[in-house]
Structure 1
Amino acid sequence: MNADAPQRIALLGATGSIGTSALDVIARHPERFVIDTLAAGSRVDALIELCKKFHPRFAVIADPSGYEALKNGLSDCGLRTQAAAGAAALNERASAEDVDTVIAAIVGAAGLDSTLAAARAGKRLLLANKESLVLAGELLMQTAHASGATIVPVDSEHNAIFQCLPAHGDNRNVSRIILTASGGPFRGKRRAELAEVTPAQAVAHPNWSMGAKISVDSATLMNKGLEVIEAHHLFGMAPSRISVVVHPQSIVHSMVEYDDGSTLAQLGRPDMRTTLAVGLAWPDRVASGVAGLDWQQHSRLDFEPPDLDTFPALQLAFDAMATGGTAPAMLNALNEVAVSAFLQAQCSFLGISALVAAGLNTLESEPASSLDALLAADLRARAFGAEYLRTH
C-alpha cells in the first residue's frame, strides 16, 4: 500500500453496532480512509442507505435472495456501487488486491470464511468476529502468520491487551493477561433470581451498546469465556496465564502483568470507536470521537472475582479450552443455538448454560485437524442443541 494513499477498507457487517461505530471513525478521516466495500447480512434497505452516504465501489448482501433488491435499489438511487451477493462475493472482497484493510464484524460462525479469506490475503484484519478465533483459532493464526497478515482485535478487552503487550511481540516476560468483565446486567444476582429473566432484561447491558446476541453472552458471562479462548490464540498464552476479574465500571478494559511485578492497563470510556481507531491507524493514533476520561467522576474502580456458580458459562469455556480439539467449536455452536432459542422465548436464561453443558458432556471432542473437521463438529453441536430444545 502506498503510504500516502488512503487505506481502502472492506467493512463486513456494516449495518451492525460495530459497523456503525467503524463508519463513524472512518468518516472523521476522509484523507486516511476510504470505504471500498460495505457488506451486510440481510438488511438490504439499511445497506443501501449506507451506500448513499459512503459511495463504496461494492455492496455485498450475504443472503443471495436480497441481490435483486440491492441491485435495483442502488440503481434507483443513481449510485454506481456494484451489487454482489453470497459467501463467495464476501470472500472475494475480503481478499481483493485493491483492499488494504478488512473489518470483520459479521456476527457468528457466518463470518468465518471471509475472515480466513482476508487472513490468507495478508490484509490488515480488524477482528470483531469472536467465532473466527473460538471456532478456528489455530487455523486463523497460522494463516495470518504464513501470509504476513496483521490482526488487530477490536473488542475492548483484547484491544487493551494488544496495546499493553510489548510492541516487538516477544511475550516471554509477560506473567499473565487479565481480562476484565463488567459482570453484565445481573451482576450480584443469585442463580434462583435469574430463573424468570426475559430477553429484554438480558440485552439491557449497563455500560455497552451492543447487538442482542453479544448482550446475552455478556449477561451469561459466555462472552468472557469466548474472550478467554480468543486471548489464548491471539496472544499465544497458555490457559494458566489468563485470568478474569469483574470490573463493573468498564473503565479498565484489561491488563497485562509482567514478571517484574508491573501491571500495564488500558483505560477509557466504554465506546468501540476507540478500539476501531486503534485498529485502523495503528501504530499511529487518530481522533475517534470519544472524549478522554473525567477523573473527577471516577473516584473508585472496583474489582471482584466472577461468580462461577451463578454464571457457569465462563467455567464451561475454560473447560472447553482445556479439552481442546473441536470442543471450543462445539461450545460456540451450542451457545449460538441456546441464545437464539432464548431470544425467541424457546429457552430459559438458565437453560442457555444447561444446554451448553449437556452438549459438551455428551459430544466427543476430536482433533481440530482441518476446517472441515471444525465445521462438522459445529454441525453436530447444532443438531444436538436442536434435539435438546425439542425434548427439554
Structure 2
Amino acid sequence: MKTVSVLGATGSIGDSTLDVVARHPERYRVHTLTACRNVDKLLALAQRHRPEVVAIAHAPAAAGFEARLRSAGVKARLAVGADELTEVAGTPGVDLVMAAIVGAAGLAPTLAAARAAKALLLANKESIVMAGALFARTCRASGVTLLPVDSEHNAIFQCLPDHRTGVDTQKAVRRLILTASGGPFRTWSAQQIAAATPDQACRHPRWSMGRKISVDSATLMNKGLELIEAQMLFDMPPERLDVLIHPQSIIHSMVEYVDGSVLAQLGNPDMRVPIAHALAWPDRIASGVSPLDLIAGGALQFEAPDATRFPCLRLAREAMQAGGGAPCVLNAANEVSVQYFLDGKVGFADIPRVNETVLAAFGHVPAPASLEEAVALDAQARQRAEAAVASR
C-alpha cells in the first residue's frame, strides 16, 4: 500500500490520477488533496477518497470549508493559504506525489515535494522551465525518484534505456522527438489564427484540458515549454531535440538512436496512460483506457511545425538556447499574455508579440539559484509583460 498526494487535485490531471488510484484500492491510499479555490469539487473528492489532509491555496475560498468537511464526515486536517499548501506538499514519507498545479504557482510546492517525497510524478512543467537547475539540484540532493507525467516526456522516458542498466544515453541517442497534435488551428491561415477567440482556442481536437494549457496548445507554446523541459529532464542539448506535428496523437513521442532505430510509445490520447505508468513504475497496472486499435484509427500523419504561423514555438527554442533565466522570463510573460487573451483584453496574435517583447527586454539573465530568485525574476517578467500589454 502506497500513499499518494495530489497537488492540483481539482484539475484534469488530478481527475485522471484519482480515477487510476480508485481502480487500485489495494495498492494506493490518498494522503493529501489540494486545490486553489474550487472548494466544491475538493469537498466531493475528500468525501470519496478520505485523505488525511486537504489544502486550499486561496485563503478567502476556504471560509467555512472546515465546517463543510466535518458536516460531510471528513476528518482530514485542513491547511489554508499558499504557504501551508507548500508545507503539506513537503510532508515527509509520502510515497508518491503528483505535482499537477498549473503554472508558476506550482514551483514552491513541487520543490517541497521533491525534497520530501519518495517519488515525484511531475506534471507541472513550469517548475523546470522556471528553475531547471535548482530543481535538478533539489532532486539530486534528496534522491527522489523523478517520473515525468506529461504524455510526451513519459513516452520518451519509456523509450529510453532504463537508467539502472548504466547505458550512456548521450552516446546511444541521436535525437528526442516530441510529437504535437498541432492544436485547433493547425490548418488555419495566419489571418484566421490572428482573429481566433478564446472559445475557439480552447477547443482542442484531441485532449480535454484546462483553458490556460489549451491556449498554450493552440499557440504551440506548450510544445515549446516541453522542449525546455525535455532538455532539463533528459540532459539533452537543444540541437538534439525536435518537434513533429502528429494530428492523431497516437504516437506520443520518439527516441532516435545512433544505429538508426527509432522507438516510439503509442497509446490512445488519454492522460491515464502515462499517469498509470508513473504511479506503478517499474510495474504496470490497468489504467482504465481502452486498448489501442490501429486499424480503426486509420492512417497516421506527420508534418513539420510552422514557426511562421506559430511563433511561440520559435520563442521557446530561442529561450532554451539562451539558457540562464530566459525560460523563466518567457514562461512568466506567457502566463500574463494568455490570461489577458482569455479575459478578452488582447487578441490571439498579441500573445507571441508580448512574449517576444518581454524576452528581448531582459536579454541574458542568469539562472535562478534559489526559490526566492526564481520568484523575483518571475515577478519582474510579469511586470514587464503587464507594461507590454498596456502599451498595446
TM-score range, shorter chain: over 0.9
2:13 is the counterpart of 1:18: yes
For residue 225 of structure 2, give the secondary structure of its aligned residue in structure 1. helix
Amino acid at match of 1:390: A
2:159 is the counterpart of 1:171: no
What residue is the counterpart of 1:181 in the other structure?
180
What residue is the counterpart of 1:3 in the other structure?
none
**Runs of 5+ unmatched residues, structure 2:** none
What residue is the counterpart of 2:391 in the other structure?
391
What residue is the counterpart of 2:374 in the other structure?
374
> Please, which of 124, 128, 135 is the counterpart of residue 123 of structure 2?
128
For residue 303 of structure 1, give the secondary structure of its aligned residue in structure 2. coil
Q: 51-60 or 73-82: which moved more? A: 73-82
CA deviation string 1:119-170 (max 9, x = no partner): 1125301111010010011111121112111111111100000100010263
Divergent runs of 4+, >3 A: none
What residue is the counterpart of 2:320 in the other structure?
321
Q: 163-172 or 208-217: which moved more? A: 163-172
Amino acid at match of 2:299: R
Aligned-pair CA distance for 1:87: 2.3
Aligned-pair CA distance for 1:107: 0.5
What residue is the counterpart of 1:271 in the other structure?
270
**Runs of 5+ unmatched residues, structure 1:** 1-5
Alpha-carbon separation, structure 1, partners of 2:346 and 2:364: 25
Paired residues of 2:94 and 2:116 also in contact (CA < 8 A): no
Aligned-pair CA distance for 1:175: 0.8
Alpha-carbon separation, structure 1, partners of 2:109 and 2:307: 34
What residue is the counterpart of 1:341 in the other structure?
340
Amino acid at match of 1:115: T
Aligned-pair CA distance for 1:363: 1.8
Alpha-carbon separation, structure 2, partners of 1:146 and 1:264: 31
What residue is the counterpart of 1:238 in the other structure?
237
For residue 329 of structure 2, give the secondary structure of its aligned residue in structure 1. helix
Aligned-pair CA distance for 1:374: 2.3
Paired residues of 1:44 and 1:69 also in contact (CA < 8 A): no
Amino acid at match of 2:111: L
Q: 106-115 or 95-104: which moved more? A: 95-104
Paired residues of 2:207 and 2:269 also in contact (CA < 8 A): yes
Paired residues of 2:231 and 2:238 also in contact (CA < 8 A): yes
Aligned-pair CA distance for 1:308: 0.4
Paired residues of 2:91 and 2:117 also in contact (CA < 8 A): no
CA deviation string 1:244-278 (max 9, x = no partner): 00000000000001111100000000000011100
- TM-score, structure 1 normalization: 0.97
Aligned-pair CA distance for 1:369: 4.1
What residue is the counterpart of 1:211 in the other structure?
210
Q: Report the count of equivalent residues.
A: 387
What residue is the counterpart of 1:46 in the other structure?
41
CA deviation string 1:45-71 (max 9, x = no partner): 111111111111111001122333221
Alpha-carbon separation, structure 2, partners of 1:58 and 1:370: 31
For residue 349 of structure 1, give the secondary structure of its aligned residue in structure 2. coil
Paired residues of 1:66 and 1:85 also in contact (CA < 8 A): no
